[in-house]
């Protein structure tokens, strides 16, 4: 249904201005009637008046044409502003939904954090119990090690006694070897005695030869000497046979000695040397035999010489007859003496040979007995030495294993003690953080109450603004009917501008979609990295580094928030300029109604969302209060347990140190919670500042509404300049927003690179932790090869230490996840705060533009009626 047309004045010029094309016939009829009524005298005057009226009508048409041009320009600008406002409304809705999702996630994260805190306390209690068990096991292991050390000392003493026995047996063996060498010396003495006897026999033979030479003159003496020689030869042959038997016996004995030397190996080399000397003696005896044979040959030669000298002796017999009796008497005496000496020597030689044979047999028998005894003793000593050596090697290996295991257990105990110290420090920090969290909850309740009051004030101010905007909307509707015809004429230009605005909006949407895609990809990468981090084993030092890095990032985000505030201030200035520019636009009547409708719908949606957010905040506060009460109760319980632990561990220095380490860990956790509380307080202050800024902007809007009568007077002079300035500022604002978006993307990329570097460090830590776990596994496998009760004790301790190590790594990983989650929550809160500030600024911009549009519509209506 077309809007109602405004009433027109009943005048000719008014009809000329407001008439339609089908009213041309009526205008011509009026002119003719006037001409017919006029007199001829007044024709010139009437023509001049008509000419004047025609000039005025032409001037009015020119003014209308200029007004239409300006209205076309304003329609174009307003169409682009409408598209921008619609896009901002959609962005505001999406940002509000994101803020609500972030708020819900923050609440779930807070509940998860409290649950993890409870689980950490429970794990701390379990680790304390496990530490007590591990200490008891370490004490048992120490006692077992002391027992093993005592056993090792006893084994060493046994080994020393065995070595002493071996030394004794060695000395006894050396003594036996000396005895054998002494016996060999005695044997050599016997051989030398035989040699002396042989020399004496040769001496006797020499004497016999001399006597035969002296008795050459006497045949009887010769025959007697021949008989004596024969007897002596027989005796020599007997001696030679006896020597051969002795040599045979010696050969047999030497063969026996060879066998004994073969059994005794290198230790009886001296006996082999004695056997060689005996062989040399045999050779010497053979040589002496050959000498005796040579002497026999010489004796034969001597007999020949005696035959030759016999004739001479016969010749001399007469001369020597007297001497013969004397020589015979002397010879008989000497012969008797020689027989006695020979008999005596023979008896002595036989006695010596018998005694020597008996001594040799006794010596060989004793040697055999001693050799058998020594061989048995050597075998026994060798066996005992082998057994003792094996036992010694086994004891040494066992002692080395025990030392290695003791060092590994000591290292593991030191590592556990350091881990327990860290956990105690974290527990103390967590207790302090819980106390600070209770105080922060009270402050948050007070701030929430103040926020409710400010929200109520804002709602009242919004109601007043909406009432004023409703009045302006009624005026705008009336003015809309008057400007409809003008709007139809400028519709083509508006469509062109709308196409341009749509193209810009599509470009902005593409940029926003690309930004969202990059953010989604980064979030996916972050999720993948987070899953990888969940499986990593992170040490306490790396956690401290990450906490420091997070603190630096929080500082950087705070600086970014300050920069965002500065940019918001600049945007507020720009928005003020745009409000002044839009206040000068009189042709915004057609678009103001749509804006007012959108603003009213947005205000209703904001009211609903604000009510829902208030309800969610109340529920979250109630839930947080209940969880904090539970946490305080748990804190009291932990404090009571710590007091009981102090009383139980008052007399033990190491446990006091562990309690101190626990307090240090609790202090560290309390410091982290205090940092979180400070960040939360900072965010609360920022929200309060944003609410205060929104309230000030509402007051400024009210002041601008009160000043709209003054701004109407400036519309005529600043209209075209304001439109040009509006285009320029809008273009610069879009460029600045695009630049800011690119900067935000670069900052997020830098943050993600930092997170990736942290994750790479966590992966390296995971590799080192896996290497340590493999080392522990190899240690456990080495422990499995221990013997007896020590193996069982060490295996139990190793399994317990392995489980404790796994639990500690899991706790460290959980703490790392909690820190990462806190950092993500803080980043999301800062982003949500920035989005809320931007939405508030845009919302106030739309309110101001709506007010300015209403004022411009009213001014346009007044100007139309004045014209």
Interval 786-801: pLDDT, tens:
545 555 555 555 566 5
pLDDT single digits (tens) 536-583: 555 555 655 665 665 565 566 556 656 655 655 665 565 555 556 555
Angstrom distances, CA of residue 289 to CA of 282, 330, 556, 638: 10, 32, 121, 114
Q: Residue 13 has what pLDDT? A: 40
Tell whether the model's pLDDT for residue 528 goes beyond 60.
yes
Q: Residue 407 has what pLDDT? A: 72
Exposure of 523 in the CB half-sphere (CA atoms within 13 A): 9
In angstroms, rounded to a whole number, what is the distance separating the alpha carbons of residues 128 and 778?
Answer: 26
CB 842 within 8 A of CB 696: no
Exposure of 759 in the CB half-sphere (CA atoms within 13 A): 19
In angstroms, rounded to a whole number, what is the distance separating the alpha carbons of residues 763 and 765?
Answer: 5
Exposure of 418 in the CB half-sphere (CA atoms within 13 A): 9
Tell whether the model's pLDDT for residue 38 goes beyond 50.
no
| pLDDT class of 80 with cuts at 50, 70, 90 | confident
As to burial, measured by CB atoms within 10 angstroms (0-12 exposed, 13-18 middle, 19+ buried), residue 446 is exposed
pLDDT single digits (tens) 601-627: 655 665 566 556 556 655 655 665 565
* Token duo for residue 720: 């075209």
Q: Residue 57 has what pLDDT? A: 73
Query: Could you please report the per-residue DSSP string of 391-437?
Result: HHHHHHHHHHHHHHHHHHHHHHHHHHHHHHHHHHHHHHHHHHHHHHH
In angstroms, rounded to a whole number, what is the distance separating the alpha carbons of residues 193 and 349?
Answer: 10
Tell whether the model's pLDDT for residue 3 goes beyond 50.
no
Tell whether the model's pLDDT for residue 70 goes beyond 70.
yes
Tell whether the model's pLDDT for residue 517 goes beyond 60.
yes
* Token duo for residue 73: 């320009």
* Token duo for residue 649: 């561990």
Query: Could you please report the per-residue DSSP string of 470-485?
Result: HHHHHHHHHHHHHHHH
Q: Residue 559 has what pLDDT? A: 64
Per the model's pLDDT, the better-predicted residue between 394 and 719 turns out to be 394
Mean of pLDDT over the chain: 63
Q: Residue 37 has what pLDDT? A: 47
User: Among 754, 801, 766, 751, which residue's Cα sits nearest to residue 780?
Assistant: 801
pLDDT single digits (tens) 159-190: 677 667 767 777 776 776 777 677 667 767 76
- Which residue ranges make up each domain of the chain? 87-155+406-866, 159-397
Q: Residue 25 has what pLDDT? A: 43
Tell whether the model's pLDDT for residue 269 goes beyond 70.
no
| Residues listed for the chain | 867
8: left (phi over 0), alpha (psi -120 to 50) or beta: beta
pLDDT single digits (tens) 441-484: 666 667 667 766 766 676 676 566 666 666 666 665 665 566 56
| pLDDT class of 708 with cuts at 50, 70, 90 | low
Secondary structure, 3-state, 30-64? HHHHHHHHCCCCCHHHHHHHHHHHHHHHHHHHHHH
Q: Residue 601 has what pLDDT? A: 61
Name 425's bridge partners.
665
Tell whether the model's pLDDT for residue 65 goes beyond 70.
yes
Q: Residue 17 has what pLDDT? A: 41
pLDDT single digits (tens) 90-105: 776 676 676 667 666 7
Query: Could you please report the per-residue DSSP string of 241-296?
Result: HHHHHHHHHHHHHHHHHHHHHHHHGGGGHHHHHHHHHHHHHHHHHHHHHHHHHHHH
| pLDDT class of 23 with cuts at 50, 70, 90 | very low
% of the chain beyond a pLDDT of 70: 14
Per the model's pLDDT, the better-predicted residue between 319 and 34 turns out to be 319
Query: Could you please report the per-residue DSSP string of 820-858?
Result: HHHHHHHHHHHHHHHHHHHHHHHHHHHHHHHHHHHHHHH
Q: Residue 802 has what pLDDT? A: 60
Tell whether the model's pLDDT for residue 116 goes beyond 50.
yes
Per the model's pLDDT, the better-predicted residue between 62 and 309 turns out to be 62
Per the model's pLDDT, the better-predicted residue between 12 and 597 turns out to be 597
In angstroms, rounded to a whole number, what is the distance separating the alpha carbons of residues 815 and 515?
Answer: 32
In angstroms, rounded to a whole number, what is the distance separating the alpha carbons of residues 783 and 765?
Answer: 26
pLDDT single digits (tens) 665-677: 656 665 666 665 6
In angstroms, rounded to a whole number, what is the distance separating the alpha carbons of residues 525 and 529?
Answer: 6
CB 849 within 8 A of CB 585: no
Tell whether the model's pLDDT for residue 5 goes beyond 50.
no
pLDDT single digits (tens) 406-418: 677 667 667 766 7
Q: Residue 192 has what pLDDT? A: 73
């Amino acid at each position: 249904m077309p809007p109602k047309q405004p009433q027109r004045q009943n005048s000719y010029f008014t009809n000329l201005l407001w008439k339609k094309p089908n009213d041309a016939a009526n205008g011509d009829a009026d002119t003719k009637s006037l001409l017919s009524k006029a007199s001829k005298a007044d024709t010139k005057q009437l023509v001049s008046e008509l000419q004047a009226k025609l000039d005025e009508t032409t001037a009015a048409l020119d003014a209308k044409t200029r007004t239409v041009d300006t209205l076309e320009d304003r329609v174009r600008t307003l169409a682009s502003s409408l598209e921008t406002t619609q896009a901002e409304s959609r962005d505001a809705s999406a940002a509000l939904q994101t803020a609500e999702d972030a708020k819900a996630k923050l609440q779930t994260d807070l509940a998860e954090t409290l649950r993890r805190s409870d689980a950490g306390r429970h794990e701390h209690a379990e680790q304390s119990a496990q530490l007590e068990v591990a200490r008891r096991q370490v004490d048992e292991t120490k006692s077992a090690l002391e027992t093993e050390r005592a056993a090792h000392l006893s084994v060493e003493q046994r080994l020393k006694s065995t070595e002493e026995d071996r030394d004794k047996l060695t000395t006894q063996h050396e003594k036996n070897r000396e005895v054998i060498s002494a016996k060999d010396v005695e044997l050599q003495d016997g051989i030398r005695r035989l040699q002396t006897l042989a020399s004496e026999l040769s001496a006797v033979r020499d004497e016999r030869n001399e006597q035969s030479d002296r008795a050459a003159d006497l045949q009887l003496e010769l025959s007697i000497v021949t008989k004596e020689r024969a007897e002596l030869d027989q005796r020599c042959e007997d001696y030679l046979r006896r020597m051969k038997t002795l040599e045979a016996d010696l050969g047999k004995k030497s063969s026996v000695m060879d066998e004994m030397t073969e059994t005794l190996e290198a230790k009886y080399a001296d006996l082999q040397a004695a056997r060689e000397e005996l062989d040399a003696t045999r050779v010497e005896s053979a040589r002496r035999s050959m000498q005796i044979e040579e002497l026999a040959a010489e004796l034969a030669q001597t007999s020949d010489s005696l035959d030759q000298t016999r004739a001479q002796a016969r010749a001399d017999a007469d001369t020597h007859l007297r001497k013969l009796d004397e020589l015979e008497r002397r010879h008989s005496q000497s012969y008797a003496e020689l027989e006695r000496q020979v008999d005596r020597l023979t008896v002595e030689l036989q006695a010596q040979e018998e005694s020597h044979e008996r001594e040799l047999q006794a010596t060989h028998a004793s040697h055999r007995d001693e050799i058998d005894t020594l061989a048995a003793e050597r075998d026994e000593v060798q066996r005992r030495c082998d057994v003792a050596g094996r036992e010694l090697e086994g004891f040494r290996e066992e002692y080395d294993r025990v030392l290695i295991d003791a060092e590994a257990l000591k290292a593991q105990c030191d590592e556990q003690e350091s881990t327990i110290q860290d956990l105690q420090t974290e527990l103390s920090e967590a207790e302090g953080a819980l106390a600070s969290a209770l105080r922060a909850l009270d402050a948050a309740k007070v701030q929430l109450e103040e926020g409710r009051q400010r929200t109520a004030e804002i709602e009242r101010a919004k109601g007043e603004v909406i009432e004023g905007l409703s009045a302006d909307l009624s005026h705008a509707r009336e003015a809309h009917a008057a400007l409809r015809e003008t709007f139809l004429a400028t519709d083509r230009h508006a469509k062109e501008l709308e196409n341009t605005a749509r193209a810009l909006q599509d470009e902005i949407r593409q940029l926003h979609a690309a930004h969202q895609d990059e953010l989604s990809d980064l979030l996916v990468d972050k999720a993948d990295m987070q899953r990888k981090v969940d499986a990593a084993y992170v040490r306490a030092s790396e956690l401290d580094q990450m906490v420091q890095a997070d603190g630096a990032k929080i500082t950087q985000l705070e600086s970014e928030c300050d920069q965002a505030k500065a940019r918001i201030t600049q945007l507020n200035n720009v928005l003020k300029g745009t409000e002044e520019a839009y206040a000068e636009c009189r042709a915004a009547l057609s678009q103001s109604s749509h804006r007012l409708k959108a603003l009213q719908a947005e205000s209703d949606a904001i009211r609903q969302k604000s009510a829902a957010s208030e309800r969610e905040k109340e529920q979250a506060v109630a839930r947080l209060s209940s969880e904090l009460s539970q946490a305080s109760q748990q804190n009291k319980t932990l404090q009571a347990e710590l007091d009981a632990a102090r009383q139980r561990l008052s007399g033990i220095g190491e446990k006091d140190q562990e309690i101190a380490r626990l307090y240090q860990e609790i202090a560290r956790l309390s410091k982290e919670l205090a940092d979180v509380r400070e960040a939360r307080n900072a965010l609360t202050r920022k929200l309060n500042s944003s609410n205060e800024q929104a309230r000030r902007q509402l007051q400024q809007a009210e002041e601008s509404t009160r000043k709209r009568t003054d701004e109407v007077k400036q519309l005529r002079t600043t209209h075209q300049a304001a439109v040009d300035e509006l285009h320029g500022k809008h273009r610069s604002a879009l460029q600045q927003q695009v630049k800011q978006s690119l900067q935000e993307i670069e900052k997020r990329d830098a943050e993600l690179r930092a997170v990736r570097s942290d994750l790479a460090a966590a992966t390296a830590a995971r590799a080192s932790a896996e290497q340590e776990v493999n080392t522990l596994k190899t240690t456990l496998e080495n422990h499995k090869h221990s013997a007896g009760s020590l193996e069982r004790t060490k295996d139990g301790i190793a399994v317990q230490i392995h489980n404790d190590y796994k639990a500690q790594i899991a706790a460290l990983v959980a703490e790392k996840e909690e820190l990462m989650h806190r950092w993500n929550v803080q980043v999301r809160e800062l982003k949500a705060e920035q989005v809320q500030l931007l939405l508030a600024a845009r919302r106030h911009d739309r309110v101001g533009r709506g007010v300015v549009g209403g004022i411009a519509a009213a001014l346009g209506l007044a100007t139309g009626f004045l014209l």
